[in-house]
Amino acid sequence: MPTPSRRLHAVRLAAVLAAAVPAAHAIVVRGTVSSPLGTPIPGSRVQLIQGRRSVAIAITAADGTFEIRSTLSGRFVLLTGGGRALTPLVANISRDFYGGPTDVVTRNVTLEATTLNESVTVTTSGIPTPIQQLTAPVTFVSRDDLATRTGISDELRQSPGVTLVQSGQLGGITSMFVRGGDSDANKVLIDGIPAGDVGGGFDFGLVSTTGLSNQGNNGPAGELYRGPNSALFGSDAAASVLNLTTPRGTSTRPVLVYSGDGGNFHTYRNEATLSGTHTRYDYLAAFSRLNSSNSIPEDEFHAVTTAANLGAALPANSLIRFTFRNTDSAQGVPGPRDFFGISANQKQADQDLYSGITLENRLAGNWHNLVRYGIARKREQFFTFTPVGTLSDDGSTYLGLTKTIIGANGYQVAGASPIAYAGDYPQRYDQVSNRDELYYQSDYTFPHHIAALFGFRYENERGAFRFPLYATNEDLQRTNFQYTLQVQGDITNRVFYSLGGAIEKNHLYGLRGTPRLGLAYVPVRPGYKLFHGTRLRANFSRGVLEPSLAVQFSSLYASLAAAGDPAAIAAYRVTQPNAEESRTYDLGVDQNILHEKLVLKAGYFHNEFDHQFEYISPAALQQYFGIADASSLANLFGAYTNSLTFRTQGFEGELQYQPLQRLFVHAGYTYLAPIVQQSFSTDALQAAGATTNPLFPNLPIGATSPLVGQRPFRRPPNSGFFAVQYTGTRFTAAFKGAMSGKSDDSTFLSTDLLLPNRNLDHGFAKLDLNFTYAANRYFSVFTQLDNLLSQQHIGPIGYTSLPFTVRAGLKIRIGGD
């Protein structure tokens, strides 16, 4: 007969076995709930939600950890709130995820004090990090802000330190200058895939909001890191990094969203998005077409954009994801019509494709591995069909109408500008820029809040340039490697650090090291008192930029080699194009006021841009290299050299204010003080004398490059932005503006049509307004009004910007949860 102790043991064993049976077929969700500064929050209520019901609940332990089990499988979200924190924190709804009957899923949760800021970024360090722990400045591009836009350029202007310059109207080439850096010094990623040309150039005017705008709880559409970050992202991240992400499907039932709108200048747009989830899989596919005649002749534009994001949750806490984005566009290129008086008969066509597949795995919640293979395929064709204008007396050039050109500095000239060279037409040139990239990352979170990251990047870049008129037929291939090591963490949730660097072996310029060091300190934690919540930060980083196709093909080395003159290369010690380099020192302070209803941010930056490329004329090359016999350079139109150095420093200020639950105010100001320190351009050669216009004999002018002591072109010393947004249950509205002061530039014309560089480009204030009214969850109407003041000097001198435009349309939603 069993003894009482044996019976008790049998009961306990049966209970254990009974509990073990369902556990073997249960999803397990584990994680940690913490504050934005990384402090664990005990006592938080974590609910596992499936559909509209809570299927399991857990309460976080003293160290903020939780574990939830459920015998169900499918799509889930975590609803987290409460807890014993120093200040009240807003409930958090996580992104949805799939959990199978035997999956162990790790989901860490960060609770914010308000909804004023996005929570987490990965662009700064490669590891998800709350923005309050960052050591460098990051700006988010919200998906909601893109809901009524056709492109992203105007939303990028809503960031300190950022200037967007669009040469023309809708679809015109749009360049971004960050903190005074060159327009090709920005690393642009689409779903983590490098999207710039070989050498970093990127046209923001062709980026549609299709596949980027609002689709459920998918985080921001973009993250803009201001500063060099070649330590993590390699070559071309010399001034900033912008990562755009395609949303993924979230609804358990398919949802189709159609949007259609039209406006003045024969503008219309149609867009459709299909998304959803099914068991382990999520999917999103989007398509749009945009057409516009713009406001000047020969400037029609159309773009067709296709985007897709397909994901599958795999066993063992793994995820595989495929992304695709393609844009086919064509636009008339009238040129600087303010100079010509007529439109050139030209066209540019672009085909840009970015695609990649990513495999991620997380072991035991601490060890994360990622492998990504991505491709970029970019084609550009430029056509000049027939020359326009009047043939010059010597028969060499077609000239436009006689026009008076007036700069923002008050100087003016009159004359006929050259439009095209005489010759056989039609003419065409093609440019190809392809890239294949393999990236591997492994990061591990150790105890005591220390995380280490190792990364490896392999790039295979190919480029081609075809210009039959000049018998140009160039091809190149570059194979680049990079190794990255980084450590980040915190001390007592007050001091945050990030230390790392990379060694890159570039096919063209060899080995380069790019260190990065960041520190942040929180002397006063957020709280109820007036000024509780202070964060100080400091950052140092270096960046590198590889030469573009145009620079490599038109470098002095390549030009002398093509002329068959190796003796000149040896005699004048001419080398292959080298790396452009940058380094940044960054200091800042963030101050919370009124319990994070009001946030003030201020920062100082000091940048050095060394060995930058500039275009130098044959006369300047002869003068600089001391060439007596110019036969080696007789047939050159000019060449590029690493001879430009400039410095930028400045102040950034930013305000975020939420006086009411539905009202948000955002504003910023940037003061930029750039100066050219070294230049060997024609206009900087003292021995040869700087270029002057006979109308202004005492004013040296930089024709193709800025002069020493002046500002680099198209970098305004004063710029700012503001946004006032109201978000109601049915009605939303936003009033936004971007302002810029005058900037230095050149007309890039012949001597008698040159104007002094100083403050040549006009300042402007671009004001936009949009409204949305949702009749119900299935139907809404909207309108977007741009450039309310109808200012037409928003672009550089010579280019006419779009006047006031209006678009109105509707959105229809079918299906979904």
Helix (H, G, I), strand (E, B) or coil at 635: coil
Q: How does DSSP assign 491-519, residue by residue?
A: ETTTEEEEEEEEEEEETTTEEEEEEEEEE
Which CATH number fits the domain that encloses residue 26? 2.60.40.10
Q: Are residues 431 and 351 in the same domain?
A: yes
CB 581 within 8 A of CB 592: no
- Nearest Cα neighbor of 384 from 358, 347, 438 is 347
* Residues 71-90 pLDDT 10s: 888 889 899 888 777 666 77
Indicate the pLDDT class of residue 758, thresholds 50, 70 and 90: very high
Partner residues linked to 744 by β-bridges: none
Judge whether 145 lies within some domain: no
* β-pair type (240-244, 120-121): unpaired
Residue 347 domain flag: yes
Residue 315: pLDDT band with limits 50, 70, 90 = confident
Q: What is the CA radius of gyration of the chain?
A: 29
Q: Is residue 213 part of a domain?
A: no
3-class secondary-structure state, position 787: coil
The pLDDT tens digits of the residues spanning 204-219 come to 999 999 999 876 667 8
pLDDT of residue 20: 40
| Per-residue pLDDT at 411 | 96
Contact 328, 304 (CB under 8 A): yes
Mean pLDDT of 499-525: 94
Instruction: Specify whether 26 is located in the same domain as 160.
Output: no
Lowest-pLDDT choice from 180-189, 445-454, 613-622, 660-669: 613-622
The amino acid sitting at 783 is T
Residue 327 sits in the same domain as residue 459: yes
Rounded Cα gap, residues 176 and 813, in angstroms: 35
Q: What is the mean pLDDT of the chain?
A: 89
pTM: 0.92
Domain shared by 516 and 446, yes or no: yes
Shared domain check, 500 and 437: yes
Type of residue numbered 427 = Q
What's the rounded Cα separation, in Å, for the pair 206 and 328? 9
Q: Which pLDDT score is estimated for 187?
A: 96
In the predicted structure, residue 263 carries a pLDDT above the cut 90? yes
Residue with tokens 């949802």: 255
What CA–CA distance (Å, rounded) separates 636 from 575? 17
Q: What is the pLDDT of residue 4?
A: 45
The label of the residue with tokens 């150095």 reads 645
The number of helix segments (H) and strand segments (E) in the chain equals 8, 43
- CATH of residue 265: 2.40.170.20
731 lies in some domain? yes
Q: Is the dihedral of CA 416, 422, 425, 427 positive or negative?
A: negative
- The model's confidence at residue 116, banded by pLDDT at 50, 70 and 90, is low
Tell me: do 76 and 159 sit in the same domain: no
Give the integer Cα–Cα distance in Å for 355 and 345.
34
Same domain, 107 and 244: no
808: enclosing H helix or E strand? strand 805-815
Q: Which two tokens stand for residue 559?
A: 């030009």
Determine whether 670 is exposed, middle or buried from the number of CB atoms within 10 Å of its CB (0-12, 13-18, 19+): buried
Pairwise CA distance, residues 713 & 367, whole Å? 47
- Domain final residue, candidates 43, 78, 111: 111
Residue 299 lies in a domain: yes
With respect to residue 138, please indicate whether it lies within any of the assigned structural domains: no
Whether residue 119 is contained in a domain is answered as no
Residue 619: band (very low, low, confident or very high) from pLDDT cuts 50, 70, 90: low
Task: Kindly tell me if the per-residue pLDDT of 777 is higher than 50.
Answer: yes
CA angle 445, 449, 450 (to 5 degrees): 55
685-to-193, 688, 753 alpha-carbon distances in Å: 42, 5, 21
Clarify whether residues 160 and 100 are in a common domain: no
pLDDT, one tens digit per residue, over 581-608 is: 999 999 999 999 877 789 999 999 999 9
Lowest mean pLDDT among 34-43, 465-474, 497-506: 465-474
Residue 729 sits at φ, ψ, to 5 deg, of: -65, -40
Average pLDDT over every residue of 127-133: 87
Q: Which domain holds residue 416?
A: 155-165+240-815
Does the pLDDT at position 380 exceed 90?
A: yes
Q: What is the mean pLDDT of residues 156-165?
A: 96
Query: Could you say which of 111, 126, 141 is where a domain stops?
Result: 111
pLDDT at 633 over 50: yes
- The CA dihedral of 408, 410, 413, 419, to the nearest 10 degrees, is 0
Segments in 583-720 forming alpha helices (H): 618-625
Return the pLDDT at 636.
57
Digit-coded pLDDT (tens) for 697-723: 888 888 888 888 999 999 999 999 999
The yes-or-no verdict on residue 15 having pLDDT over 70 is: no
Closest CA to 807 of 117, 109, 261: 261
Cα 476 to Cα 462: distance, rounded to the nearest angstrom: 6
Strand partners, 792: none
Q: Does 66 share its domain with 160?
A: no
161 and 26 co-located in one domain: no
**How many structural domains comprise the chain?**
2
Quick one: what percent of the chain has pLDDT higher than 70? 91
| pLDDT attached to residue 402 | 95
Q: Is the Cβ–Cβ distance between 624 and 196 less than 8 Å?
A: no
- Rounded to 5°, the CA angle 266-351-306 comes to 70
Question: Can you give the pLDDT at residue 16?
Answer: 37
Nearest to residue 714, comparing CAs of 74, 255, 57, 164? Answer: 164
597 plus 490 within the same structural domain: yes
**Residue 635 confidence (pLDDT):** 53
Asked if residue 215 belongs to a domain, the reply is no
Q: What span, in angstroms and rounded, lies between the C-alpha atoms of 197 and 187? A: 10
Over residues 539-543, mean pLDDT: 96
- pLDDT tens for residues 354-375? 999 999 998 877 899 999 999 9
Residues 609 and 676 in one domain: yes
Distance CA 243, CA 128 (A): 14
